[in-house]
Amino acid sequence: MNSKFSVASGALLTGLAVIALAVPNTAYAADAGSSADSNTTLNVTAGTLDLAGTTDGDFGETSVSTIHNSGFTSSISEAPVVTDYRGGDGAWVLSVKSNGTFASQLGATLSVRDNGSAADSSASGATLTKPSATTITTADSAVTTASAANGKNDLKYSVGLNIAQGTNVKAQSYTDTLTWTLGTAVEQGEGSN
């Protein structure tokens, strides 16, 4: 029986050896993986460039005798809000002009200046430029320029009225209209050529 077992075992080992030789020897890496890319997208749409927050102001009250004897000076605060949600690098310009009533009927001077008592707040990345003081006439005068602004910009101004001493005025109520205009730097540049 041992000889049969030996022959059978030998035949079995020989068969296994033949099978092992017939199977190709392929090596596999333990952590061999494959990779593939998938793209994801987000579409961001552009918004607008807008101006809001301008308000009516009241320079108060004075008398003919006060203007004649010492002149009159008063100021009001103005706080326009520029929102720039265009999502680009385009600059903008804010300008102001008067309809000329105070100048023609009172000989008065209107001016606008940065309101140092209330700081502006600007969107990140925006560089705001404001002149220290600008005389308001019947032509647009730039009061703020911004380079590549995005987001909300809260601006603070003081609008001044000055009537010189000795000016001959009528005793009545006077109204002047200030027009604030927001445009792109290119539009403002083209308008001045």
pLDDT single digits (tens) 159-181: 999 999 999 999 999 999 999 99
Please indicate, yes or no, if residue 185 is contained in any of the structural domains. yes
Q: State the CATH number of the domain containing residue 132.
A: 2.60.40.1090
pLDDT at 191: 44
pLDDT top residue among 185 and 131: 131
Please indicate, yes or no, if residue 73 is contained in any of the structural domains. yes
pLDDT at 120: 61
135 pLDDT band (50/70/90 cuts)?
A: very high
Mean pLDDT, residues 107-122? 77
Specify the number of domains making up the chain: 1
pLDDT at 193: 40
pLDDT top residue among 160 and 1: 160
Please indicate, yes or no, if residue 39 is contained in any of the structural domains. no
82 within 8 A of 155, measured Cβ to Cβ: yes
The CA distances from residue 158 to 1, 32, 155, in Å, are 118, 71, 10
pLDDT top residue among 66 and 156: 66
126 within 8 A of 151, measured Cβ to Cβ: yes
Return the percentage of the chain with pLDDT > 70, whole number: 72
Please indicate, yes or no, if residue 24 is contained in any of the structural domains. no
Output phi, psi for 141, to 5 deg. Answer: -125, 125
- Structure token pair of residue 79: 């706080």
pTM for this predicted structure: 0.73
Question: Residue 75's domain spans which residues?
Answer: 49-191
Q: Using alpha carbons only, what angle is made at residue 71 by residues 65 and 75, rounded to the nearest 5 degrees?
A: 120
pLDDT at 26: 62
Mean pLDDT, residues 64-85? 94
Please indicate, yes or no, if residue 62 is contained in any of the structural domains. yes
- Structure token pair of residue 188: 């403002």
User: For 13-72, how does the pLDDT look when each residue is reduced to its tens digit (9 = 90+)?
Assistant: 555 454 555 555 665 555 668 999 999 999 989 889 999 999 999 999 999 999 999 999
pLDDT at 30: 58
pLDDT top residue among 93 and 191: 93
Please indicate, yes or no, if residue 105 is contained in any of the structural domains. yes
Cα 63 from Cα 94, distance rounded (Å): 34
Output phi, psi for 35, to 5 deg. Answer: -130, 155
123 pLDDT band (50/70/90 cuts)?
A: low
